[in-house]
Structure 1
Amino acid sequence: METAQERVGEKFTLESMKFARDRTWDVVNELGAIIAPGMLESEATAACKRIMTSLGMERIWHPSLVRFGANTLKTFKERSEGDPRLGDDDIFFIDLGIVWHGHEGDAGATFVVGDDAEMKACAAAAKQIFDDVEARWRATGSSGKALYEYAEERAHELGWRLNLDIKGHRVSDFPHAIYKAGKLGDFDACPDVGLWILEIQIAHPTRPFGAFYEDLLA
């Protein structure tokens, strides 16, 4: 039964949500492949806009974020510190919210350049925790709240700190904001297919960097 927090518009289809997800991942991966040492964070953000336009986006529904180095510790609502230049051994993440076919794509991932083993491990851990939590959702039908409790456990087991200010959110046919659904991590029921973004943001326990990964629960 549809709840107020999982309401959708008349144009909503799961097929369109998956299309929007896939096209947003196309941008993430294309952008991630061209970001290289020596590039400024602002230059990467400008390149992102060019790629989105070339792929025929309708619009963005949240600001496009590219975070380099220590800025990978920043949450979505926080501004980057300065305009850092990507180093030879460095880490960055991409977080995009793009509308395709009237539906909201939202995807994000972390990339590493160079040979820093801890940065590579951090990026891999964000994806691993996401995969583990997604598998728990599929296997058990856990509530959003329980999924983030599990995410915190997994992060601790793997040696990272989970940022619980970042707890996922609704997506839908544009604009999802009219549905007032709140955060996935506060949702006390099993999230339905194609309506929620699971976000994982972790931090190194001592060094100034972190990693991020998000995708549609579908």
Structure 2
Amino acid sequence: MVNSAQEAVGEKFVLESMRRARDKTWEVVERVASKVKPGMLESEALAECKSVLQDMKMDRIWHPILIRFGENTLRTFKERSQDDPRLKDDDIFFIDLGVVWQGHEGDSGATFVVGADAEMHACAQDAKTVFDEVEHHWRTTGAGGKALYDYAAERAHALGWKLNLDIKGHRVSDFPHAIYKAGNLGDFQPHPNAGLWILEIQLAHPTRPFGAFYEDLLV
């Protein structure tokens, strides 16, 4: 049951179509990640992603493609990348895609590591771990959106990372979800319903200049 106007959907909304959009977006993330290599510029990775999206015949993108290398992994969605860094032999990067497939919004993001930096590998893995723990909390406790992010902050701290609480998740739906003005998941008091909300986790290393990002649909 829809909690409020913040969980409104359009006439074309189908939950199974949200799942398909999610799966297609993850396919792009994985395909692009496999093409990102040391020596590549951030802008070159972005161009590669656009090519993959065209090949897969997306409807359109609904938010700008974000691919962040190195220190830029600490930047939020609204912040521009600093310069156009080249991926190092031991480095970290994330991909964040918002793509429309058959009129429904996919939004997926994950962090990847090249080389053998143990802390970078741990950060990338723990972004997914915190996501999984919070998703389980959502499934099993009936927690509201604000409580989910309180829990995420606790789990990130326990693993030795800082959670960026300026990143609080958001609505998705049949395109365009923005007409519903739903606000952030982290400010949503009720228990969020399945297929409508993106849970975002962005971690920062406590002392070194890099972080990690993971997001997916709560479904």
TM-score, with length taken from structure 1 = 0.99
Flag structure 2 segments of 5+ consecutive residues without an equivalent. Answer: none
Percent identity for Structure 1 against Structure 2: 72
Residue deviations 1:14-42 (CA, integer Å, cap 9, x gap): 00000000000000000001100000000
Structure 1: distance between partners of 2:35 and 2:61: 21
Structure 1: distance between partners of 2:143 and 2:193: 11
Structure 1: distance between partners of 2:162 and 2:218: 22
Structure 2: distance between partners of 1:155 and 1:75: 17
Report the equivalent of 1:18. Answer: 19
Aligned residue pairs, count: 218
Structure 2: distance between partners of 1:188 and 1:102: 28
SS in 1 for 2:27: helix
Report the equivalent of 2:137. Answer: 136
Structure 2: distance between partners of 1:53 and 1:22: 16
Report the equivalent of 2:117. Answer: 116
SS in 2 for 1:108: strand
* Structure 1: 4+ residue segments shifted above 6 A: none
SS in 2 for 1:115: coil
SS in 1 for 2:106: strand
1:78 is aligned to 2:79: yes
Structure 1: distance between partners of 2:132 and 2:194: 16
Report the equivalent of 2:31. Answer: 30
The alignment's C-alpha RMSD in Å is 0.4
TM-score, with length taken from structure 2 = 0.99
Q: CA deviation at 1:141?
A: 1.2
Q: CA deviation at 1:133?
A: 0.0
Structure 2: distance between partners of 1:81 and 1:12: 38
Structure 2: distance between partners of 1:166 and 1:193: 20
Q: CA deviation at 1:66?
A: 0.2
SS in 2 for 1:137: helix
